[in-house]
Structure 1
Amino acid sequence: MELPDPAWWGLSPDDLPDGLVVADELGRVVCFNAAAARITAQRPQQALGRPVERVLPLQDTEGRPWWQLTDPYGGLRTRRGQPERNLLLPGGREVLVSARYVRPAPAGPLHRLVVALRGTEARRRTERRHAELIATVAHELRSPLTSVKGFTATLLAKWERFTDDQKRLMLETVDADAGRITRLIAELLDISRIDSGRLELRKQPVDVAAAVRRHVEAHVAAGEPAGRFRSGIASPLPPLWADPDKIDQVLGNLLENAVRHGEGTVTIEVAPAEPTRTVPEGTTVTVSDEGPGIPEESMSRVFTRFWRGSKRGGTGLGLYIVKGIVEAHGGVITVGRSAAGGARFQFTLPVGTPAVLA
C-alpha cells in the first residue's frame, strides 16, 4: 500500500522532522525534503530527477555500497523494505537509514522507494544519557553495598565478639544503607515511567495543607527546630484530585532540598492558583529558603538529570522526577530566587478529575 499523501493532514514533506527521499519506478528521486537536504548537505534542486544511488551514495560501516547489497529494484519482489541501520554518507558522516518498498501488487515491481533518514545526534544524546545514568547508579550503589557487605560479613564471622550495643549499631547502619538502595531503585523506576509516559496516577481528593503540615512535623521530629519553618496556607483552597503519594514525593523532595541546601527560614505557602491558560483553576505551592540560592546560569538546568546544587550527596535525579510528576498531573513547576535571596520553587496543580491516568 502506498503511503498516504502528507497533505491529507495539512502537511508538506518539508514539515516532517526526518529526512524523506522518494524515488519512482525508474529509481529517480521525485521527493527530497528539507530535512534530507540538511542531513545530506545537498539542495533539493541537486537531487530531484537524479538516480537515488547517486544522490545517496550510502555505504555500510565496512565500506560496502548499500545499494548493491540491498538491490531494491532488482532483488526479491517479496521484500517490503529495509530496517533502520547505521550507514555512512561521503566523508564518513553517520546517518540512520530505513527504506520501504511500495509495490502495486504483493509481488509486483517496485513502484516507489521511500527512504527515511535520521541524524545520529539524538541517538548519541540518548546513549550518553544512558551511560551517565549507569555510571551514577553504579557510583551511588557502591558505597551502601560495600557497607552492607562489610558489616554483614563481620557480624557473621565474629558475632560472639561484639556486645549487643555494637551489634545494634552495625545493624542500624545496614538498615540505613539498605534504605538508600531502595530509594535509588525507586528513583530509577520513576525515571523509567516518566521517560516512557507510563507514570500511573491514582487520583483521589488530596488535602495539600495537611500534607504540608505532615512534612514539617516530620522534619521537626527528626531534629530541625520548629521555628525554622513558616507556613502560610490560604483558605478556602479549591478541591484537588491528584495522586497523594506522588504529591507527598514532590513536597518531600522540595522541603528536603530547602532544609539541606538552604539556610534560615523555610517558607511554605499554599494558595489558590492565579488562572492561566495552562491551569485555569488549581492550587499553587511555593517552597523558599534564605540560603545562597541557585546561580542564574544554573536555573535552566535545575530540572535536568544529575543536576546537583551542591556536593552534599544526592543522585541529582530528584528534581527531574519532581518535574515529571507535576507535569503528569497537568501542572507546571518553576524555579527562581526568593525575596530573601534563596531558592524558590513553585508548582501549580490543576483541580483535576477523579479519573485514573496512565
Structure 2
Amino acid sequence: MALPAAELRPTLDTAGQVISELLNADKVDVFLIEHSTQTLVAVGTSQTPMAHKQKALGLDRQPLANKGRAVQVFETETPFISGRQEEDPEELPGIKDRLGVRSSLMVPLPIGDETRGVLGVSSARNDFFTENDLRFLQAAARWVGMVAHRVELVQELTKLAVKQARRKAAEDLITVLAHDMANHLLPLQARIQLIQRRAQRNNASEDLRDAAGAAASLRSLTRLINDLLDVGRLDQGLFHLRPQPVDLTALARELASTASTPDHPVRFEGPEELVTLADPDRVRQVLENLVANALKHSPPGRPVDLRLEAQPRPEGPWVRVSVSDQGTGIPAELVPMLFERFTRGPGSTGLGIGLFLARRIAEAHGGTLEVASTSGTGTRFELSLPLVSG
C-alpha cells in the first residue's frame, strides 16, 4: 500500500489500515471535526467490511448534536474503552444495533495545538480490547495527529509554492516530512516484530497472518518514504549508483514471477542471460515501478508483458526492457509531463514521483526511459540501458 503524504484522506486511510492490522480490529476511524456542519467525519478509515458498512449506513458522519460516545470523547477529551457496547445507553443505536459494534476504544486526536477529532477502534466481539491496547492507541493518536498536521502543512506550503513560484520550498518540506515519518515508523516496526515473535512462540497462525499483513503495509510505507528521500538526494547531488555485474534476465524474470496474480499475469520474454554493469537495486526499483503501474491500469484478466532484448546501436550494444499493458492509455496532453515530479496519471492516488525517479535512475546509468501510449489501446514504457561488460 502507498502513503500519499501530500493528501490528507488517503494518508489517514493508510494510517487507519495499519492500526487495524496491528490491533486485529474490525474497524478503525480517524474522525475529524467539520466545523461548518459541527459534525465528526471519518476522513480516514480502515479497508474492512465493517468500515464499508459504516459508510453505507451513513455512520461515517456523526453530528455533535446526536451525541454518542465518539462525540463525548471529542468534547471531553477523555479516552473511552468498552467491551459491552450493546449495553451502553449513551451509544448511538446505529453503532450498536445496525453496525454490530461490541468493543470500542476511542481517544482524542490532537493535531497541532488542539484536539481536532477522535481516533476510534471497533470490534464485533465482546471484551476484545485491553488497557494495553488503549495505551497503544493513545500513542498511535499522537503519531496520526503528527502525520495529519504535517500533511496539512505540506498542502498549504504547496499551494503557496505554486502561487509564488517557490516550488522548491514545498519539495524541501516534503523531504523533511519523509525523514520525520521514517523516525515515527520505527516504533511500529518494532511492535510488529514483537507480535510476530510472540505468535511464532505460541504457534498462533491467525496472529502470524495478521502480523505479516501489517508488516507488508509497513514495507509499502517505507518504500514511499525511501522514494521521497531519493528525490531529496537527487536535488542535493547525493544520489549515487553502486554498479556491479547483474543478470538483467534473471532480475526481470524474478520480478515477473513475483508480481503476477491470477487476475493480472505478468508474461516475461527474453534471452537466457544478459549480463551488464548496473546497480541491481536501482534497476529493480525502476522495473517494479513500471510493472506496478501497468498492473494498476490493466483490466482484469489482461496480461502485462515484460520483454527484454538486446539492441545493437552504432555506439555499441544496448538492452531494451519494455513493459506494456492493455489499459485505457494515457491522455495525450499528459504524456509530455509524465516524467515530471508530482505529475500523476489518470486514477492515480500517489504523489507522482515514481516515474520521475525511474527516469532519473535510467539517466544515471547513461540510459533512457520513454513512453508510448494510445488512448484505448494501452501503454508501453521502454527502459534502454547501455550494455557494459564486467
TM-score relative to the length of structure 2: 0.47
Of residues 259-268 and 173-182 in structure 1, the stretch that sits farther from structure 2 once superposed is 173-182
- Residue of structure 1 equivalent to 2:251: 211
Give the alignment partner of residue 343 of structure 1, picking from 358, 375, 379.
Answer: 379
Q: What RMSD over aligned residues (CA atoms) do the two structures have, in Å?
A: 4.0
Name the residue aligned to 1:229: 266
Partner of 1:25: none
Checking the alignment, whether the CA contact within 8 Å between 2:259 and 2:266 is kept in structure 1 is no
Partner of 2:303: 265
Structure 2's unaligned 5+ residue stretches are: 1-162, 196-202
**TM-superposed deviation, 1:298:** 0.8
> Which stretch of the first structure deviates more once superposed, 121-130 or 209-218?
121-130
CA shift for structure 1 position 201: 1.8
Report the AA paired with residue 245 of structure 1: D
- Aligned with residue 333 of structure 2, among 297, 302, 309: 297
Q: Secondary structure at the match of 2:333?
A: helix
1:129 matched residue in structure 2? 171
Q: Which position in structure 1 is the counterpart of 2:289?
A: 253
Which amino acid is the alignment partner of residue 322 of structure 2?
T
Give 1:347 deviation, angstroms. Answer: 1.1
Give CA-to-partner distance per residue, 1:135-175, whole Å, 9 cap, x none. 7x59998xx96x959x98xx9xxxxxxx9566446534432
Question: What's the offset of the Cα at 1:224?
Answer: 3.4
Query: Does structure 1 conserve the Cα–Cα contact (< 8 Å) formed by 2:174 and 2:228?
Result: no
Give runs of aligned pairs for residues 1-358 of structure 1, distance below 5 A: 124-131=166-173, 167-168=207-208, 170-220=210-260, 223-224=261-262, 228-234=265-271, 239-263=275-299, 264-275=302-313, 280-337=316-373, 341-352=377-388
Deviations, residues 185-226 of structure 1 (Å, cap 9, x unaligned): 321232222223332222222211211110111123xx3358
Letter in 1 for 2:167: R
Task: State the shift of 1:351 in Å.
Answer: 1.7
Could you say if the C-alpha distance between residues 287 and 139 of structure 1 is closer, same or farther in structure 2, counting changes exceeding 3 Å?
A: farther
The code of the aligned residue for 1:351 comes to L
What TM-score, normalized to structure 1? 0.51
Structure 1 distance, partners of 2:255, 2:339, is 22
Are 1:268 and 1:285, in contact at CA under 8 Å, matched by a contact in 2? yes
Residue of structure 2 in register with 1:29 after alignment:
none
Q: Which amino acid in the other structure matches residue 230 of structure 1?
A: R
Question: Is 1:268–1:286's contact at 8 Å kept on the other side of the alignment?
Answer: yes
Partners of 2:310 and 2:318 within 8 A in 1: yes
Letter in 2 for 1:215: L
Tell me which structure has the larger Cα radius of gyration.
1
- The one-letter amino acid paired with 2:230 is D
Q: Could you tell me whether the CA contact under 8 Å between 1:235 and 1:271 is conserved in 2?
A: no
In structure 1, how many angstroms separate the alpha carbons of the residues matched to 2:323 and 2:248? Answer: 13
How far apart are residue 266 of structure 1 and its match? Answer: 1.1
Pair 139,224 (structure 1): closer, same or farther in 2 beyond 3 Å? farther
The CA distance in 1 between the partners of 2:267 and 2:208, in whole Å, is 37
What letter matches 1:248 in structure 2?
R
Q: Deviations over 1:28-65 (max 9, x none)?
A: xxxxxxxxxxxxxxxxxxxxxxxxxxxxxxxxxxxxxx
Compared CA separation, residues 138 and 177, structure 1 to 2 (3 A): farther
Cα distance in 1, alignment partners of residues 256 and 215 from structure 2: 24
Cα distance between partner residues in 2 of 1:148 and 1:130: 25
Residues in 2 aligned to 1:235 and 1:249: alpha-carbon distance in whole angstroms: 22
| Cα pair distance change 1:338/1:266, threshold 3 Å | farther
Q: State whether residues 311 and 318 of structure 2, in contact with CA within 8 Å, keep that contact through their aligned partners in structure 1.
A: yes
The one-letter code of the counterpart of 1:348 is S
The alpha carbon displacement at 1:320 in A equals 1.4
Q: 1:340 to 1:283 in 2, by over 3 A?
A: farther
Equivalent-residue separation in structure 1 for 2:360 and 2:366 (angstroms): 10
CA contact (8 A) 2:366 2:385 kept: yes
Q: Partners of 2:164 and 2:321 in 1: how far apart?
A: 35
Gap runs ≥5 in structure 1: 1-120, 156-162
Work out the CA distance in 1 between the residues paired with 2:328 and 2:277: 35
